[in-house]
Structure 1
Amino acid sequence: MSEKPRLLPVDEADLQEKTLASLAPYRDQDGRIYTIWATLAHHEDALRRFLVFGNHVLGKNTLPLRSRELMILRIAARAQAAYEWDQHVRIARRAGLADETILAAATGARDGLDELDRVLLDATDSLVDRQGVDDGLWDRLIAHLSTEQVIDVLYTVGQYLTVATVINTLGVRVEGEPALPLPGPADLKEVPV
């Protein structure tokens, strides 16, 4: 990640009304636009389009919330995307996940996770590493998921790899104190899939 932000967030006063309307649900508890979205507002047309897809992945996804968050946290840890990590630790906690479960999934530990979460985390690692899954992993996915859910696995991994790339390249910083320290690269286990 860049040592400093490469793009600063756009001031809200400089945004078009249609962009502000699109960003209405993407504000923190104090009413401020989240830093990632204010940073991506340097390209307002693309941001509004990206939010439509992101809204599906985050808000209308057919995967269980718990599973989706574990996948996103694994991506954030592997990519060392601190902003993504911090935001999704907070979401995972609101979804009832304990810090031990969050850290276990993020570092590659599979102990204590149910079979669905293990399959989804294995798929996440395979998609990150190879941009696909082998036949054995495919069979495990379809044994647990509907066709729509399998497609949402692909969309979730793709979306959050994109977000991690944006965060790391543009130098988007965590807002305030981190909710939970991001595991470092040495803490991540290689999980054969």
Structure 2
Amino acid sequence: MPYPHASAPRVAPVEEPAPEVAEALAKTLTGGDGVPLAIFRTMARHPRMMKRFNVLGGFFLTRGDLPARERELVVLRTAWRSGCEYEWAQHVLIGRDAGLTDAEIERIATGGEWSEVDAALLRLADEVLAEADVTDATWWELAEHYTDAQLCELVLLVGFYRMAAGFLNAAGVVKEDRLPSWPVRAPGGS
């Protein structure tokens, strides 16, 4: 990370939303206590944008063509490489539900052995984040296992979650207390 993130929220989450904003927030994910997640309460400062963000984010989480485990592997790598603890923490929980083990989640940050396909998925995320592109070798390796639609989705998934990480980091969104912390190594490494 080129500089430290905000230590306190730069944009305060909406606590008492207007009725139309409350209606939009009611359609977002909650922390299990019925309270919308901090990302959405913060984004609610721009309700029209939040609605559009939720449409695309909801597509990736519930309507995409990628298997959930692979999706979460890529999202967690994006969060890690983007230095976004909030995104990392939320997707550790989602990743577990999608079938990632705690050991796999740890290896996303610390490195280690992966299957050829998982290694290619992680490499795709790294390449898109570093170069806004994918090498031919990575693309064609993944093309042996995924459809054109899934390959497009993979690239856009990285871009979407990189955008979300930038918002979360810059706005200083504070993660909910129930969420896990970073793994042992500092973020941003391989």
1:4 aligns to 2:8 (yes or no): yes
Kept after mapping to 1: 8 A contact 2:66/2:153:
yes
Q: Percent identity?
A: 33
CA distance in 1 between counterparts of 2:25 and 2:98 reads 25
Question: What is the CA distance between 1:75 and its match in structure 2?
Answer: 1.1
User: Measured at CA, do residues 100 and 38 of structure 1 come closer, stay the same or move farther in structure 2, by a change above 3 Å?
Assistant: same
Kept after mapping to 1: 8 A contact 2:25/2:40:
no
CA distance in 1 between counterparts of 2:81 and 2:70 reads 17
- Show the counterpart of 1:47: 50
CA distance in 2 between counterparts of 1:107 and 1:60 reads 30
For structure 1, the 5+ residue unaligned runs are none
Question: What is the CA distance between 1:175 and its match in structure 2?
Answer: 0.3
- Show the counterpart of 1:129: 130
CA distance in 2 between counterparts of 1:136 and 1:163 reads 28
Return 22-31 or 94-103, whichever deviates more: 22-31
> More helix by proportion, 1 or 2?
1
The aligned runs of 1:1-193 (5 Å cut-off) are 1-11=5-15, 13-17=16-20, 20-21=23-24, 23-109=26-112, 111=113, 113-185=114-186, 188-189=189-190
User: Measured at CA, do residues 185 and 160 of structure 1 come closer, stay the same or move farther in structure 2, by a change above 3 Å?
Assistant: same
Residue deviations 1:62-120 (CA, integer Å, cap 9, x gap): 111111111111111111111101100011112232211001123343x1x32221111
Kept after mapping to 2: 8 A contact 1:127/1:157:
yes
CA distance in 1 between counterparts of 2:96 and 2:110 reads 17
Question: What is the CA distance between 1:24 and its match in structure 2?
Answer: 2.2
Kept after mapping to 2: 8 A contact 1:83/1:173:
yes
CA distance in 1 between counterparts of 2:84 and 2:68 reads 20
Number of residue pairs matched by the alignment: 186
Kept after mapping to 1: 8 A contact 2:81/2:188:
no
User: Scaled by the length of structure 2, what TM-score is found?
Assistant: 0.89
Kept after mapping to 2: 8 A contact 1:81/1:168:
yes
CA distance in 2 between counterparts of 1:17 and 1:170 reads 23
User: Scaled by the length of structure 1, what TM-score is found?
Assistant: 0.88
Question: What is the CA distance between 1:19 and its match in structure 2?
Answer: 5.6
CA distance in 2 between counterparts of 1:100 and 1:183 reads 13
CA RMSD of aligned residues (A): 1.9
Kept after mapping to 2: 8 A contact 1:80/1:182:
no
AA aligned to 1:83 is Y
AA aligned to 1:90 is L
Residue deviations 1:8-49 (CA, integer Å, cap 9, x gap): 1012x3234366246424122110010000000000011101
Report SS of the residue matched to 1:133.
coil
Kept after mapping to 2: 8 A contact 1:57/1:159:
no
CA distance in 1 between counterparts of 2:42 and 2:163 reads 14
